[in-house]
Amino acid sequence: FWVLNRPEWLAEAWMTPEIFGAEEGVSIPKIGEPFRLIPMNVDPPEHRPYQQILTREMFAPRIVDSLSNEFREMTRERLDALQPLGRADFNAEYAYVLPVEIFLRMLGIPASRRSEFAGPVERVFRGTDPEAITAAIVEVAMMLDAWIDEALQDRYAPREAHLLEAMMRAEVEGVPLSKPELSSIATMLMLGGLDTVTSATLHQLHFLATHPAHRDQLLADPSIAPDAVEEMLRRFSVANVARTVREDTEFHGVQMRAGEMVMMSTTLAGLSESAYSDALRVDFARPRVRARSLVFGKGVHMCSGHALARRELLITVEEVLPRLPNLRLAPGSAIEYVSGGTLSIGSPLPLEWDSA
The highest-confidence range among 32-46, 148-162, 244-258, 334-348, by mean pLDDT, is 244-258
Cis peptide before 348 (omega within 30 of 0): no
Report which DSSP code applies to 22: S
CA–CA separation, 99 and 342 (whole Å): 16
**What is the per-residue pLDDT for 336?**
93
Residue type at position 296: F
Mean pLDDT of 250-261: 95
More confident residue, 76 or 131: 76
* pLDDT tens sequence across 277-307: 999 999 999 999 999 999 999 988 898 899 9
Specify the range with the lowest mean pLDDT, choosing from 97-106, 122-131, 193-202, 316-325.
Answer: 122-131
Instruction: Supply the DSSP symbol for 239.
Output: B
Full-model pTM? 0.92
> Distance (Å, rounded) from C-alpha 255 to C-alpha 249?
6
pLDDT of residue 86: 96
Confidence of residue 33 (pLDDT cuts 50, 70, 90): low
**Whether the predicted pLDDT of 102 surpasses 90:** no
What are the residues facing 64 on neighbouring strands?
none
Cα separation values, 172 from 36, 56, 118, 304, 307, Å: 17, 13, 31, 17, 24
Burial of 160: CB neighbours in 10 Å, binned 0-12, 13-18, 19+:
exposed
Q: Is residue 174 packed enough to be buried (19+ CB in 10 Å), middle (13-18) or exposed (0-12)?
A: exposed
Least confident of 52-56, 132-136, 181-185: 132-136
Contact status, residue 257 vs residue 248, Cβ threshold 8 Å? yes
Q: What is the pLDDT of residues 34-48, one digit of tens each?
A: 578 899 889 999 999
